Every structure is written in C-alpha cells, then in structure tokens.
Amino acid sequence: DTGVSQNPRHKITKRGQNVTFRCDPISEHNRLYWYRQTLGQGPEFLTYFQNEAQLEKSRLLSDRFSAERPKGSFSTLEIQRTEQGDSAMYLCASSLERLGRGTEQGNTEAFFGQGTRLTVV
C-alpha cells in the first residue's frame, strides 16, 4: 500500500498521559498536514510541513501539542498531559507542491490517511 499510513489506528490513554502518533506520507510528497476531527464536524487544520519545515500552526495547536518532521519524511504529533477534550480523530495528509514556473506549479490534491482515533479517559 503506497498511501498515507498512520499509527496507531486507535489509542486509549488516561488523562494526563503523553501520547505520540506517527504519519508516513506518500513517499515523494513534500507537504504533510495534520488535522483533528471531532464527532459530527469536518476536519480542522492543525499544522503543516513543507519538507522538514513547519510553516503554519493553527490556534488549535496549544502548547501541549508538538509536531515534528525531522527528515522531511515521516512526522510525529505528540500531545502532552492529555485532556478529555483532546479526544478526537487525528488525521494526516500529504501532497506534492510543484515548484517552478508555469501552470504546473502550486497546490495539488492532498491524500489522507485513515487517522488515529484518540480516546482520553
């Protein structure tokens, strides 16, 4: 399977514990996004990387959240001191930004992983 892979698929943790999720994007994709989705809502943007650089962070990304993409390939999202309000589906997506000139440059479609469902008890 050459799609976006997320691990684990499910995580149950006690309030106050730290959790880390991993995302492996499609191999040639230089952009990687993290989203959060709560029940009945559309996905909400958290942050994105261009290669290893984290270029944008949402206000939703509190100080307890940190994301990394150290080598421009896989990414991790860590939540420290989890709270019950952190319970959600965490989605990762990747895309290829074409650099250069002309009509080939710009954003392309993003491909999502299956998500990691976090339950904080």
* Residues within the interface to other proteins (CB under 8 A): 4, 31, 33, 35, 41-45, 48, 50, 55-56, 91, 93, 97, 105-107, 109-115, 117
Half-sphere exposure of 15 (CA within 13 A, CB side): 4
Half-sphere exposure of 75 (CA within 13 A, CB side): 33
CA dist., res. 14 & res. 100, Å (int):
47
Pick the closer one to other proteins by CB: 14 or 101.
101
> How near is the Cβ of 81 to other proteins at its closest, in Å?
26
- Spatial CB neighbours of 65, under 8 Å, sequence gap ≥ 6: 46, 77, 78, 79, 80
Pick the closer one to other proteins by CB: 44 or 68.
44
> How near is the Cβ of 45 to other proteins at its closest, in Å?
5
> How near is the Cβ of 120 to other proteins at its closest, in Å?
19
What does each C-alpha distance from 13 to 43, 64, 87 come to in angstroms? 22, 15, 10
Pick the closer one to other proteins by CB: 79 or 93.
93
> How near is the Cβ of 42 to other proteins at its closest, in Å?
3
Tokens of 78: 């860590």
Pick the closer one to other proteins by CB: 93 or 120.
93
